């Protein structure tokens, strides 16, 4: 058990309440059952938080604990709106009462919580696997994740806490040298509301998303039309959840890739797909369902801009049914709606033409023809996409691959499941293109930065329903409904064997999750190079004790300097690892840094003017050559190589611990 495990688990529970409670309440007000409401909860909550953060930022109100009553009031208002939409809907609203109400609406026996007890057990098993992997992979709960994106996100949470602005429209301007830019800050806003040190709050916010995934997916599977009339629906959903409820692909998003806002976006997609499924088949109140679809889809886009491209990737599978549904209800409106959608899409693309051009022109080394079978295997068997993270139990993914292919074969013959097969095939094809050789079609993956790891969860979402469909057919043969004929007495043994296989896959893949967690949380095993060793993190935690209040420190981001702000509470000149804009004093200071080692008076005069303008009078250095023998050493130096390698003259030592030291830049003393 890592130090601070109890605090991490408790804070994760609080993060889960923040993430799920507002959306769940609104889902219930809109007539959804308990499980379906869990599925839409992350997306709806993201939409509310995004709207509130923008509004508070525009009004100049600080984003802190005082924002919670506002979020509560916003939830109540949206819940009232959802209730009004439910009552005014032309279709009969689904009765309240969770999965039992869905069965009642379909004329099937009402099972209630007892009927979904296997699903609850499967979700609990997945949560236990995820939490166990995290507690085994994390050395100390209050230590930060160490990855390129993680450093930015930790600084973003710190900036929101200190600056009080969580707006998506410029709330993180200080991280961009004072330039107000758009950045999706929904996840950061939620993490900033959690108590405790920033790294601990961030770890809890990340773990909460991983823990929420099994419940969100189970809610989608229970509510999908393809599973609605299955006599063994709860059993099939339970087995599917145990099998793929803790996917390696999602764990990879929140660990080795550390794309936490995008992970929140992906977490919002199952609810959006479920609402699209309900709207197309006309289940429940159309206005209420349309409202929830707008909120979940909007929440996915607000959580991360790539959410728009994720929806565009998955939406074509729904177009035939949506076109037919609109034609049945509004026969004359289809052409007008199509024209309006085309105009809006064209206008949006024109307004965002420069960012779109930048994204679509993104370049990343291709995987070659050998990457095609490798990527296909990773997508089908749910295996890690990058690095040396591996375990012998990864071969258990073959069970997932076989079940997925069987489900695709069955699903193509079931009209209600055919669109899920199309979604799966589309996402799989794009993932394989991104992981394969370079050609113009590969650039379609540019919105995901040509990272197949970002696309793998989009394959896993529809694949889960296909697996559920295959297992449902298997259960119908192994355990037919009571009175259906012979073979019933032999069914329990077969079912126990099937459940044991699913549990074996879930538990057997725990080492994969543990290794992924350790690849960013264990300073000795950081996958892409250790930014800060264990002793360095302890030194950073005490740094504020040796500096005056408000001190600003110059430090190399590639040597862990960005973490000094989140871990030690000491503000740094370079809070992110990306290169500063060329017109800023931050860039000019980094450019002038190599000359300061020559003790040239003119160079120091210019440098001191920059340092005084930034308020920076201290320097942090890390002279360890190999991160104290860490497995992968240190990450490669980037634009900040001079900050790491060149120590200027005229420094006064403040405190040193081994290879790590804080210095006061004394050369600027007494200068006008």
State the total domains in the chain.
2
Cα 509 to its chain centre, rounded Å, is 20
Non-local (6+) Cβ contacts of 410 within 8 A are 417, 466, 469, 470, 473
Q: Identify whether the C-beta of residue 653 lies closer than 8 Å to the C-beta of residue 663.
A: yes
Q: Identify whether the C-beta of residue 289 lies closer than 8 Å to the C-beta of residue 88.
A: no
In degrees, rounded to 5, the angle at the alpha carbon of residue 272 between the alpha carbons of residues 270 and 276 is 115
| Secondary structure of residue 330 in the 3-state scheme | coil
For residues 423 and 337, membership in a common domain is answered with yes
Query: 390 lies in a domain?
Result: yes
Q: Identify whether the C-beta of residue 575 lies closer than 8 Å to the C-beta of residue 177.
A: no
Query: 627 lies in a domain?
Result: yes
Considering only residues 341 and 665, tell me which one the structure prediction assigns the higher pLDDT: 665
For residues 623 and 652, membership in a common domain is answered with yes
d(CA 347, CA 199): 41
Query: 97 lies in a domain?
Result: no
For residues 468 and 568, membership in a common domain is answered with no
For residues 577 and 465, membership in a common domain is answered with no
What confidence score (pLDDT) does residue 482 get? 46
What confidence score (pLDDT) does residue 488 get? 40
Query: 349 lies in a domain?
Result: yes
Considering only residues 389 and 273, tell me which one the structure prediction assigns the higher pLDDT: 273
Dihedral sign of CA atoms 295, 297, 303, 308 in order: negative
In degrees, rounded to 5, the angle at the alpha carbon of residue 441 between the alpha carbons of residues 440 and 446 is 90
Q: Which residues pair with 621 in a beta bridge?
A: 661
What is the H or E stretch that residue 652 is in?
strand 651-657
For residues 391 and 430, membership in a common domain is answered with yes
Cα 485 to its chain centre, rounded Å, is 47
Tens of pLDDT, residues 106-156: 333 344 566 788 899 999 999 999 999 999 999 899 999 999 999 999 999
Query: 317 lies in a domain?
Result: yes
For residues 506 and 593, membership in a common domain is answered with no
- Residue 634 structural domain: 534-664
Of the given ranges (157-161, 279-283, 367-371, 562-566), which has the lowest mean pLDDT? Answer: 279-283
Query: 483 lies in a domain?
Result: no
How confident is the model over 242-255, as a mean pLDDT?
94
Tens of pLDDT, residues 42-67: 999 999 999 999 999 999 999 999 99
Q: Name the residue among 290, 288, 285, 284 with its Cα closest to residue 322.
A: 290
| Secondary structure of residue 436 in the 3-state scheme | coil
Query: 488 lies in a domain?
Result: no
Q: Which residues pair with 664 in a beta bridge?
A: 618, 652
According to DSSP H, which parts of 60-147 are helical? 67-88, 99-105, 112-115, 117-137
Tokens 């790539």 correspond to what residue?
A: 306
What confidence score (pLDDT) does residue 672 get? 52
């Amino acid at each position: 058990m890592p130090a601070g495990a109890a605090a991490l688990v408790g804070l994760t529970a609080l993060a889960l309440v923040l993430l799920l409670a507002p959306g769940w309440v609104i889902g219930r007000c809109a007539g959804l059952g308990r499980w379906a409401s869990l599925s839409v909860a992350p997306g709806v909550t993201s939409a509310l938080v995004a709207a509130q953060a923008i509004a508070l930022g525009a009004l100049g109100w600080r984003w802190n604990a005082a924002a919670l009553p506002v979020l509560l009031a916003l939830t109540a208002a949206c819940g009232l709106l959802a209730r009004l939409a439910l009552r005014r809907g032309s279709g009969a609203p689904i009765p309240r009462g969770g999965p039992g109400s869905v069965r009642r609406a379909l004329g099937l026996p009402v099972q209630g919580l007892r009927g979904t007890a296997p699903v609850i057990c499967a979700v609990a098993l997945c949560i236990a696997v995820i939490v166990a992997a995290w507690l085994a992979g994390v050395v100390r709960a209050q230590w930060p994740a160490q990855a390129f994106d993680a450093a930015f996100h930790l600084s973003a949470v710190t900036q929101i806490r200190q600056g009080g602005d969580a707006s998506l429209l410029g709330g993180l301007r200080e991280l961009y040298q004072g330039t107000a830019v758009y950045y999706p800050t929904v996840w950061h806003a939620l993490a900033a509301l959690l108590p405790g040190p920033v790294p601990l709050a961030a770890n809890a916010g990340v773990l909460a998303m991983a823990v929420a995934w099994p419940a969100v997916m189970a809610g989608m599977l229970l509510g999908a039309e393809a599973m609605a009339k299955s006599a063994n629906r709860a059993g099939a959903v339970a087995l599917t959840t145990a099998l793929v409820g803790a996917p390696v692909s999602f764990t990879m998003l929140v660990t080795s890739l550390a794309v936490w806002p995008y992970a929140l976006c992906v977490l919002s997609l199952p609810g959006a797909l479920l609402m699209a499924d309900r709207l197309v088949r006309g289940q429940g109140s159309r206005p209420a369902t349309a409202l929830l679809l707008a909120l979940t889809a909007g929440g996915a886009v607000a959580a991360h801009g790539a959410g728009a491209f994720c929806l565009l990737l998955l939406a074509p599978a729904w177009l035939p049914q949506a076109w037919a549904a609109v034609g049945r209800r509004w026969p004359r409106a289809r052409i007008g709606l199509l024209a309006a959608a085309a105009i809006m899409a064209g206008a949006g693309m024109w307004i965002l033409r420069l960012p779109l051009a930048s994204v679509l022109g993104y370049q990343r080394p291709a995987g070659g023809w050998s990457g095609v079978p490798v990527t296909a295997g990773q997508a089908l068997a749910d295996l890690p996409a990058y690095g040396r993270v591996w375990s012998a139990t990864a071969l258990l993914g073959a069970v997932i691959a076989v079940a997925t292919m069987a489900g695709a074969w069955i699903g193509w013959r079931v009209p209600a499941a055919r669109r899920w097969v199309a979604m799966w095939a589309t996402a799989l094809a794009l993932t394989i293109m991104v992981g394969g050789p370079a050609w113009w079609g590969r650039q379609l993956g540019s919105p995901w930065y040509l990272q197949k790891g970002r696309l793998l969860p989009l394959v896993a979402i529809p694949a889960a329903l296909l697996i559920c469909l295959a297992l449902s057919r298997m259960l119908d043969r192994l355990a037919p409904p009571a009175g259906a004929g012979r073979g019933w007495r032999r069914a329990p043994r077969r079912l126990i064997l099937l459940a044991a296989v699913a549990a074996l896959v879930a538990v057997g893949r725990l080492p994969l999750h543990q290794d992924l967690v350790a690849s960013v949380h264990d300073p000795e095993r950081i996958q892409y190079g250790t930014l800060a060793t264990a002793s360095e993190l302890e030194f950073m935690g005490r740094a504020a004790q040796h500096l005056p209040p408000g001190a600003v420190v110059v430090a190399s981001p590639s040597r862990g300097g960005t973490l000094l702000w989140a871990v030690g509470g000491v503000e740094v000149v370079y809070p992110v690892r990306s290169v500063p804009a060329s017109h800023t004093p931050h860039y000019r200071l980094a450019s002038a840094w190599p000359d300061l080692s020559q003790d040239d008076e003119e160079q120091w005069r210019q440098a001191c003017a920059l340092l005084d303008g930034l308020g920076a009078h201290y320097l942090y250095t890390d002279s360890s050559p190999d991160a104290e023998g860490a497995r992968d050493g240190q990450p490669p130096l980037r634009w900040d190589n001079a900050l790491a390698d060149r120590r200027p003259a005229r420094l006064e030592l403040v405190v040193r611990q081994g290879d790590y030291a804080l210095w006061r830049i004394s050369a600027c003393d007494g200068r006008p």
